[in-house]
Amino acid sequence: MGTHGRHLVRIWWVAVVFALTGCGGGGTLGGSVTLFEDTFAAINGSPSTLADNWLVFSVGSTCTASNVDTNVFSPLPQGNPTPGLVLKCQGSIIDVNDGSLQSLATYALNTPLTFAVDARVDAVGDFIDNPQRGMIFSLRALSGLMVAYIDIRPTSVTYYMNSGGGIGNIQFTQTYPVDAFFHRYAFVVNGSGNAEWRRDGILQASTTTLSTTTEPISAIGNLYIKMIAPPSTATVASNGHFDNVRVTAP
């Protein structure tokens, strides 16, 4: 190859690298492209404006969603730096939209993606009134279909992935020792039906047939992130925390 040919190849290679690192409107993290990130803090360290990235559902004084939470201690990178998001409820909570956030951005799972969050639940109701859920981080279709979620309780986490037959396709509950720390949860998809949940980098549940009830999930777009406060009862308040929500592509 002559000098001119090598020069053209070099220009093409630089253009490709620039395009790959610049797509998605985000920076890079460990070789990944960051498509979305919310640390619930502004550049100057003060709380960010939640409405920039989320639809906030908070009903009166019963449930609150606030990103001025400074109670996010634990080893880096989990739950740091402050502030973070705190979701609290008081009273018998029925509506799952109470004390929740829904991302304005939506995603299609037709390419490899990772959805990650730091989370810690301090207290929930006794589940007599709300046996169906704890504090939830989920990925949903606009129809409301749960594509994947984690249900976090003080001593356990349930990992769910829709694999073509409705609720309960891949649903696995792990128990853990009680602690006061954030843990890093990541939902990883490869764009071809393979998906897995990881906690602090350790595999917890997986499937090779991630889907909606009617067609492969890789064909479905407009999936949003939703975070829901833990339920409470008339006598037991709830208290949960999220931080460092991130969506990346390899």
Which position has the higher pLDDT, 98 or 49? 49
Share of the chain above pLDDT 90, in %: 35
CB 233 within 8 A of CB 126: yes
pLDDT band at 217 (very low <50, low <70, confident <90, very high): low
**Has residue 35 got a pLDDT over 50?**
yes
pLDDT(167) > 60:
no
Average pLDDT over residues 141-155: 86
Q: Which residue has the higher pLDDT, 180 or 137?
A: 137
d(CA 42, CA 232): 30
pLDDT at 233 > cutoff 90? no
Q: Are 77 and 145 in contact (CB under 8 A)?
A: no
Q: What is the pLDDT of residue 22?
A: 32
Q: Would you state the pLDDT for residue 30? A: 54
62-118 pLDDT, tens digit per residue, is 888 899 888 887 777 778 888 999 998 888 776 777 789 999 999 988 889 999 999
Beta bridge partner(s), residue 216: 211
Q: Report the SS3 class of residue 7.
A: helix
Residue 213 has pLDDT above 80, yes or no: no
> Is the model more confident about 210 or about 225?
225
Please give the C-alpha separations between residue 56 and each of 43, 66, 102, 131, 222, in angstroms, as whole numbers.
21, 9, 7, 24, 18
**For range 188-210, the mean pLDDT:** 92
Q: Is the pLDDT of residue 18 over 60?
A: no
Residues 6+ apart with CB under 8 A from 51: none
* CA 107 vs CA 36, 84, 151: distances in Å: 10, 23, 21
Which tokens in the block code for residue 30? Answer: 């460990």
54-64 average pLDDT score: 83
Q: How confident is the model at residue 12 (pLDDT cuts 50, 70, 90)?
A: very low
* Total residue count of the chain as it appears in this document: 250
Q: Is the pLDDT of residue 29 over 80?
A: no
Is 132 or 172 the better-scoring residue by pLDDT?
172
What average pLDDT does the structure give for the chain?
A: 79
Per-residue model confidence (pLDDT) at position 3: 46
Cis (ω within 30 of 0) for the bond into 81? yes
- On the question of pLDDT at 224 being above 50, the answer is yes
Answer yes or no: is pLDDT of 121 > 50.
Answer: yes
- Over 60: is that where the pLDDT of 28 sits? no
